């Protein structure tokens, strides 16, 4: 694995399966196209859909088309469905809630229902934003949820529907994702660091920046394990090791990027730590978003790498474009 995760080799059984992937153009979906190849044949769809080789029927990749999703799963008859598509615009979801609910709650419910009917596994992603951010200890999988914003509520509804459906599933709650594709905090901060002399970044929200490549590699490993053994399904927390704030994250990232690309036109002189109250956003975000990943690591024989490792590495390619 390229992303620093350590794997106990006793889980390295060979399995050949048919995997139906939704959201191939997103940060995680993009990396999954590569990593899921160790599990089986991957049929990867974006919102615009796709085709199955040798099959005339067009496949639907749009999560807001619930009938299209049912038809697509029936045509592909996958061993596992991996859903990396989601409505991830946290602030916009406050006002565009119906659309976010359709994609994050209703579509996963449909995928879970059809997975249960045909005995397929469903892999789905959720978020640290299902928690209310209280306390200081890392959240465990069975802790009480209490989302503070609409995005978190729609994601929790998606989780609940999957658990209620009776399908075999892996729900992987992750956080603070960055990747080579798509928008993310890291990309925004590196842009701002070349536009402005002073940045203000919140320093009272705690979590761990997590690479899409790490998420994809761990997903493939866990999926291979459950397909080979039939056990290990459930809800897990998946994040890089350690903890920081958005301010700590921005500081390490900009430092690494400046060292690697000293001539990239940096203007930033200061990164000011501020409380959340000084950076108002439409959606509230949890103060304590730390995720306890021990259940995932023990079940699948993994050791997750420190968040700094991945962030320093991403400074390489996020600036190099």
Ligand X SMILES: Cc1cn([C@H]2C[C@H](O)[C@@H](COP(=O)(O)OP(=O)(O)O[C@H]3O[C@@H](C)C(=O)[C@@H](O)[C@H]3O)O2)c(=O)[nH]c1=O
Ligand Y SMILES: NC(=O)C1=CN([C@@H]2O[C@H](COP(=O)(O)OP(=O)(O)OC[C@H]3O[C@@H](n4cnc5c(N)ncnc54)[C@H](OP(=O)(O)O)[C@@H]3O)[C@@H](O)[C@H]2O)C=CC1
Nearer of residues 91 and 301 to ligand Y, judged by Cβ: 91
Least Å from the CB of residue 282 to ligand X: 10
Which one from 87, 125, 129, 151 is the annotated catalytic residue? 151
Q: Which of 153, 225, 285, 290 is the binder for ligand X (CB under 6 A)? A: 285
Q: Which of 22, 30, 121, 129 is the binder for ligand X (CB under 6 A)? A: 129
For position 199 contacting ligand X by CB under 6 A, the verdict is: yes
For position 62 contacting ligand Y by CB under 6 A, the verdict is: yes
Task: Write out the two tokens for 156.
Answer: 């929790």
Give the list of residues 6+ apart from residue 317 with CB closer than 8 angstroms, or none: 180
Nearer of residues 130 and 261 to ligand Y, judged by Cβ: 130
Give the list of residues 6+ apart from residue 261 with CB closer than 8 angstroms, or none: 315, 319, 320
Cα–Cα distance measured from residue 170 to residue 163, given in angstroms and rounded to the nearest whole number: 10
Nearer of residues 176 and 236 to ligand X, judged by Cβ: 176
The residues in 41-60 that bind ligand Y, with binding defined as CB under 6 A, are: 47
For position 307 contacting ligand Y by CB under 6 A, the verdict is: no
For position 27 contacting ligand Y by CB under 6 A, the verdict is: yes
Helix, strand, coil percentages, rounded to 5, for the chain: 45, 20, 35
**Which of ligand X, ligand Y, none lies near 188, with the C-beta cut-off 5 to 8 A by kind?**
ligand X
Give the list of residues 6+ apart from residue 298 with CB closer than 8 angstroms, or none: none
Q: Is 151 a catalytic residue?
A: yes
For position 125 contacting ligand Y by CB under 6 A, the verdict is: yes
Which residues pair with residue 41 across a beta bridge?
18
The residues in 280-299 that bind ligand Y, with binding defined as CB under 6 A, are: none
Cα–Cα distance measured from residue 161 to residue 106, given in angstroms and rounded to the nearest whole number: 8
- Return the range that interacts with ligand Y (CB under 6 A); candidates 5-13, 83-91, 224-232, 264-272: 83-91
Q: End-to-end distance of the chain based on CA atoms, in angstroms?
A: 23
94-100: long-range contacts, CB 8 A cutoff, minimum separation 24: 94/149, 94/150, 94/151, 94/282, 94/283, 95/282, 97/150, 97/154, 99/64, 100/150, 100/151, 100/154
- Return the range that interacts with ligand Y (CB under 6 A); candidates 66-74, 169-177, 188-196, 300-308: 169-177
Nearer of residues 65 and 309 to ligand Y, judged by Cβ: 65
For position 17 contacting ligand Y by CB under 6 A, the verdict is: no
Least Å from the CB of residue 100 to ligand X: 11
Give catalytic residue positions.
Answer: 151
């Amino acid at each position: 694995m390229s992303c620093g995760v350590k794997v106990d080799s006793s889980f390295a059984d060979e399995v050949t399966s048919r995997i139906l992937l939704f959201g191939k153009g997103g940060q995680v979906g993009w990396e999954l196209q590569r990593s899921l190849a160790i599990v089986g044949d991957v049929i990867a769809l974006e919102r615009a859909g796709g085709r199955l080789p040798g099959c005339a029927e067009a496949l639907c990749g749009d999560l807001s088309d619930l009938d299209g999703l049912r038809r697509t799963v029936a045509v592909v008859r996958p061993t596992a469905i991996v859903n990396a598509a989601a409505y991830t615009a946290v602030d916009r979801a406050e006002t565009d809630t119906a659309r976010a609910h359709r994609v994050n709650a209703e579509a996963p419910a449909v995928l879970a229902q059809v997975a249960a009917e045909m005995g397929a596994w469903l892999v789905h992603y959720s978020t640290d934003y299902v928690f209310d951010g209280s306390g200081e200890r890392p959240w465990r999988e069975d802790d009480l949820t209490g989302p503070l914003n609409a995005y978190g509520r729609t994601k929790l509804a998606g989780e609940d529907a999957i658990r209620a459906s009776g399908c075999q599933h892996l729900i992987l709650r992750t956080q603070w994702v960055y990747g080579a594709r798509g928008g993310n905090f890291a990309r925004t901060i590196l842009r701002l660091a070349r536009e402005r002399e002073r940045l203000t970044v919140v320093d009272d929200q705690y979590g761990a920046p997590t690479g899409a490549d790490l998420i994809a590699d761990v997903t493939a490993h866990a999926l291979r394990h459950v397909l080979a053994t039939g056990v290990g399904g459930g809800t897990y927390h998946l994040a890089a090791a350690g903890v920081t704030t958005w301010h700590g994250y921005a500081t390490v990232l900009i430092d690494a990027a400046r060292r690697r690309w000293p001539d990239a036109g940096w203007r930033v002189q200061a990164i000011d730590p501020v409380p959340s109250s000084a950076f108002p956003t439409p959606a509230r975000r949890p103060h304590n978003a730390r995720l306890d990943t021990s259940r995932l690591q023990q079940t699948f024989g993994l050791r997750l790498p420190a968040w700094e490792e991945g962030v320093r590495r991403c400074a390489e390619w996020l600036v190099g474009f």
